[in-house]
Amino acid sequence: MKVRLLVRYGELSTKGRNKKMFTQKLANNIKKALMNYPQVRVFPDYDFMYLDLNGVPQEEIIPLLKPIFGIQSFSPVYILEKKMEKVKEVVLDLVGKENPNGKTFKIATKRSDHEFVMDTNEINLFLGDAVLEAYPEIRVQLKQPDITVRVDVRRQHIMVSLQTIQGAGGLPVGTSGRVSLMLSGGIDSPVAAYLAMKRGMEVQCVHFASPPYTSPQALVKTKQLAAKVAIYGGSLQFFTVPFTEIQEEIKKAVPENYLMTVMRRMMLRITDQLREKNHGLAIANGESVGQVASQTLESMIAINDVTNTPIIRPVATMDKLDIIAIAQEIDTFELSIQPFEDCCTVFAPPSPKTKPKLEKAREYESRLNVEELVRRAVENTVVEEITPNYVAEEVENSVKMDDLF
Ligand code: ATP
Ligand code: MG
C-alpha cells in the first residue's frame, strides 16, 4: 500500500496568473524542510500538491509540514489496488484508529472510473455496513459527522483518506519578497517576525548589540529566538550590529529625554542600509501603538523621518495579551522573558519623551557625525545563518553592568 500526502493550498488558490510561482516556491520550501528525507518526492499540481512518501512513515513527515506557510490543510491518502475486500480492510483499520465508539461517520465516495463494478451508492453501502458491523457503537450521520471516510475510485487505483490535518495557512515564505526585521530579545519582535513570514515575507534579522553593556548571553538569547522563528522559513540570516559607539556618542551629546528617539533614528538608518545592501524591500519591527513611550504615533513620526522605506509593523494594533498568546504558540515566550539586558534598556532614560518633536530630534541629532557613525556600524556588522537547530557556542561570562557605570 502506497501512502501519499495530499496538500491543499488555501489562499494560494486565488492567485490567478502568479499561481505557478507560488506553488513552485511552496514546493521548494517543502523540499527544504524535508531535506533529511530525499526519498520523499514532491509533485506540485495546479489545484493541490502531493508528496509520495516512498516508505517514510507519515508520522515523521507530518510535524515537518505543519509549520510551512502556504499549506491550508493536508491529508494522508492510501493508494490501494481496485479490490473492494482490500479497501474494506484498510477502511476498518483506519476507522478503528479514530476511537470510533460513540462517534458518527459517513462514507463519501467519488468515482471517475465509471466502468468500475460498483457505483458510488453501492460502495457507500458496502463500506458503511462493514463499519457498522465492526464497530457497533458508531452511528451514520451525513451532515458534519465526526469521521468522514473519503473513497476515490480512479482508473488505476482506489484512494482512501480519513484525516484532514490543519496546515499553517498564510503564503509561502519568499513569495512576498525580503524584509529586514529588527529583532530584539523581547516578546514582540519575534512575533512580528513570525507574522511577517506568514504573509510570505523572507525575514532577515537585524539585532543591535552594545557590548559590554549588553552581555554575550543576551545576544545568544536573541539568536535562539531567531532559531525558533527560523522553523517557519528553513533558516534565516542574522545581522549583529555593533551599537556601543553610537549609544555612547548619543549619550554624550543628546539630552536625556531625547536619547531614545535619537537612538531609534540611528537604528532605523542602519537597518535601512543593511536592507538595501541585501536587496530587501521593506523593514519590519515589533512596535505596538501605545505600548511604551517610544511607540506613540508622535514618536513614530519623529523616528520614521529618516527613511521612506515601507515599515511593516505586524503587531502595531494588537493587545499585549494577544501578542503573548502568539509568542506562546510559537514557543518564543519563555525565552523572551528571560531577564537579559537589551541595548535600549541599558540606555533608557528614566523619563523618555512620549511626544517627541521631530524638529528637536533633528536638532539634537545634528550634534553627531551621523553619516560616519552609521557607515562604521554597517561596515562592522556581522552576519550569520541561523537554522532551527542553532546551538549557542560557549559564551564567556559578561562584564557586570554595575561595574561600568
Ligand atoms: P520587543 O518586545 O520586540 O523588544 P518592545 O515592546 O520591548 O519590543 P521596544 O523596546 O520599544 O519595544 O522596541 C520596539 C521595536 O524596536 C522592537 O520590537 C524591535 O523591532 C526594535 N528593537 C528594539 N531594540 C532592538 C535591538 N536591540 N535590536 C533590534 N531591534 C530592536
Ligand atoms: Mg524590547
Residue of 179, 189, 299 to mutate, ligand 1, most atoms within 8 A of C-beta: 189
Ligand 1 atom with minimal separation from the 264 CA: 16
The Cα 384–Cα 145 span in angstroms is 50
Question: Annotated binding residue at 286?
Answer: yes
Which ligand sits nearest to residue 244's alpha carbon? Answer: 1
Nearest ligand to the CA atom of 180: 1
d(CA 90, CA 170): 33
Amino acid at 177: G
> Could you tell me the CA-to-CA distances from 120 to 109, 192, 404 in Å, in that order?
6, 49, 79
Ligand 1 atom 14: residue of nearest CA: 287
Task: List all residues whose CB is within 6 A of at least one atom of ligand 1.
Answer: 182-184, 186-189, 206-208, 285-287, 291-292, 294-295, 342-344
pLDDT (0 to 100) of residue 395: 52
To the question of whether residue 157 is assigned a binding role by annotation, the answer is no
Taking CA atoms only, the protein residue closest to ligand 1 atom 18 is: 286
> Which uninterrupted H or E stretch holds 229?
helix 216-230
DSSP string covering 26-94, please?
A: HHHHHHHHTTT-TT-EEEE-SSEEEEE-TT--HHHHHHHHTT-TTEEEEEEEEEE-S-HHHHHHHHHHH
Q: Which three cell numbers stand for residue 92?
A: 476498518
Which atom of ligand 1 lies closest to the CA of 189?
3
379: left (phi over 0), alpha (psi -120 to 50) or beta: alpha
pLDDT given for residue 121 in this prediction = 95
Quote the cell numbers at residue 376: 562604521
How many Å apart are CA 310 and CA 262, to the nearest integer? 20
Query: From ligand 1's centre to the CA of 345, what distance in Å?
Result: 10
pLDDT of residue 346: 65
CA 112 to chain centre: 38
User: Which residue is closest in CA terms to ligand 1's atom 7?
Assistant: 186
> Residue 337 CA: which ligand is closest?
1
Measured in Å, residue 400 CA sits from the centre of ligand 1 at 22
Query: Is 183 marked within a binding site?
Result: yes
Domains of the chain: 2-166 (3.30.2130.30), 178-386 (3.40.50.620)
The per-residue pLDDT for 394 is: 55
| Cα 333 to middle of ligand 1, angstroms | 15
Closest among 69, 55, 54 to 7, alpha carbons compared: 69
What is the CA(278)–ligand 2 centre distance, in A? 25
Residue that is written with C-alpha cell 519623551 in the block: 353
Give the torsion sign (CA, 53, 58, 64, 68).
Answer: positive
- Give 100 Cα–ligand 2 centroid separation in angstroms: 49
pLDDT score, position 18? 81
The reply to whether 217 sits in an annotated binding site is no
Q: Ligand 1 center to residue 67 CA distance, Å? A: 25
The amino acid occupying position 341 is: E
Shortest-distance ligand to the CA of residue 264: 1
pLDDT of residue 13: 61
Residue with the smallest CA separation from ligand 1 atom 20 is 285
Indicate the burial class of 204 (C-beta count within 10 angstroms; 0-12, 13-18, 19 or more): buried
DSSP state of 116: S
User: For the whole model, what pTM was predicted?
Assistant: 0.89
pLDDT in tens for each of the 405 residues of the chain? Answer: 889 999 998 776 666 778 888 999 999 999 999 999 999 999 998 888 999 999 999 999 999 999 999 999 999 999 999 999 999 999 999 999 999 999 999 999 999 999 999 999 999 999 999 999 999 999 999 999 999 999 999 999 999 999 999 999 999 999 999 999 999 999 999 999 999 999 999 999 999 999 999 999 999 999 999 999 999 988 899 999 999 999 999 999 999 999 999 999 999 999 999 999 999 999 999 999 987 767 899 999 999 999 999 999 999 999 999 999 999 999 999 999 998 877 766 677 777 788 999 999 999 999 999 999 999 999 999 999 999 989 876 554 444 434 433
Q: Cα–Cα distance between 6 and 14 in angstroms, integer?
A: 19
Q: How many residues does the chain have?
A: 405
Q: Which ligand is nearest to the CA of 187?
A: 1
How do beta strands 165-169 and 71-80 pair?
Answer: antiparallel
Q: Confirm or deny that 264 is annotated as ligand binding.
A: yes
Interval between CA 96 and ligand 1 midpoint (Å) = 50
What residue's CA is closest to ligand 1, atom 6? 188
